[in-house]
Amino acid sequence: MQSNDHGNHNNIDICSGPLFSKILIFALPIMAMNLLQLLFNAADMIVVGHFSGKEALAAVGATAALINLLVNTFIGLSVGTVVTVAQDYGAGRILGLRDSVHTSIAISIISGLVVMVAGLALCKPMLVLMGTPEDILDLSVLYMKIYFMGVPVMMVYNFGAAILRAVGDSRRPMYYLVISGIVNVILNLFFVIVLHMSVDGVAWATVISQTLAMILVLACLIRSNEGIRFIPRQMRIDRQKLKEIVRIGLPAGMQSLLFSVSNVMIQSAVNSFGSTMVAASSAASNIEGFVSTTVNAYYNAAITFTGQNMGAKKYDRIDTIAKICTVLIFASWILMSGATLFFCRPLLSMYTSDPEVIELGMLRLKVIIATYFTCGVMIVFPGLSRGMGYSVLPMICTLIGACLMRIVWLKTIFTWYPTVVVLFACYPVTWGLAGLGQVGIFFYARHRIRKKAAIVTESGTHALYCP
């Protein structure tokens, strides 16, 4: 029995017809959503950088790695939501789809509260441990404490948006983010310029706008007349769905955690160069995010398209999905990286007028952006593997190829040659190593899927393959 979700004009029919145009149609709203999110985040940094000084800019930037460390582990669980919902949807399992939706929302609330408590308790000791410069420590702690108060609503939004994307709807999450982002920018300007607040102003603006996004996505799910309809009184954790979500999502979350640990170590090394370098790295990293938005969009497309076609047992289409995603990675890298490098100085000037900050920011951009295609391969191919049900192997690959090698790099190469260029070179080196491993894992998973499909065909059975 097929879910009537296919009748929703917002949903893309992923399991039939041409793939290239559908992947682009699906990815573009996610790309736009991510770009808008970065613009809104950039607004935070631009407002505090120009109206509160480079110390406030550095204070906001210094928290990014630690926030990601505490938040991304649980957001990784939403990857399990995408795969579980997508496979239920592709296979037409309506009751399973409803259980997946209600279990996912329950998980998002619980995990959000856990992260909030951990963040409030650990933010200051962790920032001190990272060697955050004294002149920005108090501002960084203030920003993080307010930010973590809004983490529960952010978690619910992310899981809700993951549910919509899993059934092929990437438009409505974008619309909700546009609305909340505009509110965020307006509140930034009001709190900082009119009320003369500093990092606390942009933090409260973020919390309020994220709350609005959560309300919109929940209202969408509650109003739905389809398999993804969320009924609050029916919210509970189904043990089987929890197991499925955790099986896929926990390794993805652990990968994010391990990645964030390595980024915290890199941020600590950046901190050792002083608050000017922290400000420069923060601004450059924010600009790099505009290039990574395309990669993230293709990752979401890869995991959703692969997951639905796995559920529908259309395994041959997975090869085509991989080829299209690879072409899109390289095309986007050439266009966006070229534009970023050409306009890097005026882009950095938007964040600060300090010439030293701008020069150091340009140095980081030149080292990282030129090789960003390696990051694209490393990020997108795990989406293909996870869509097929393989989540542990991509995590192990990232652990060894990226996280472990970054630690080795910092303890050896950077220790021997402690320069900014050597520090930032660890990004492309580890991206390349992890990317090669992820491609190998995809081919291994694809081989296993084909072998299993052949056995199923020969035996005449039709059980859904679960590795």
Query: Is residue 467 in a domain?
Result: no
Backbone angles phi, psi at 192, to 5 degrees: -85, -45
Q: What tokens does 376 get?
A: 């694209």
Band (pLDDT 50/70/90 cuts) for residue 208 is very high
pTM of model > 0.75: no
pLDDT in tens, 28-72: 887 877 777 667 666 666 776 666 666 777 777 667 666 776 676
Please name the residues in contact with 349: beta carbons below 8 A apart, sequence gap of 6 or more. Answer: 358
pLDDT at 436: 94
Please name the residues in contact with 124: beta carbons below 8 A apart, sequence gap of 6 or more. Answer: 137, 141
More confident residue, 37 or 119: 119
Query: Is residue 2 in a domain?
Result: no
- The mean pLDDT of the chain is 81
More confident residue, 448 or 65: 448
Q: Which whole-number Å values give the CA distances from 451 to 122, 318, 369, 445, 465, in the listed order?
A: 48, 14, 39, 10, 11
Buried b (16+ CB within 10 A) or exposed e, 105-117: bbbbeebbebbbe
Give me the domain span that covers residue 60: 16-459
Please name the residues in contact with 53: beta carbons below 8 A apart, sequence gap of 6 or more. Answer: none
Counting the structural domains of the chain, the total is 1
Contact 2, 158 (CB under 8 A): no
pLDDT in tens, 211-239: 999 999 999 999 887 678 888 888 888 88
- Is pLDDT at 104 greater than 50 in this prediction? yes
Query: Is residue 442 in a domain?
Result: yes
Query: Is residue 8 in a domain?
Result: no
Q: Which whole-number Å values give the CA distances from 291 to 262, 307, 337, 349, 365, in the listed order?
A: 21, 25, 7, 18, 11
pLDDT in tens, 353-372: 888 888 888 889 888 888 88
CA quadruple 420, 424, 425, 430: dihedral sign: positive
pLDDT in tens, 151-198: 899 889 988 888 888 887 778 888 888 898 889 888 888 888 888 877
Band (pLDDT 50/70/90 cuts) for residue 11 is low
Query: Is residue 444 in a domain?
Result: yes
C-alpha neighbours within 13 Å on the C-beta side of residue 152: 10
pLDDT at 119: 84
Query: Is residue 5 in a domain?
Result: no
Query: Is residue 464 in a domain?
Result: no
Backbone angles phi, psi at 50, to 5 degrees: -90, -30
pLDDT at 337: 84
Query: Is residue 410 in a domain?
Result: yes
Rounded Cα distance between 202 and 180, Å, is 14
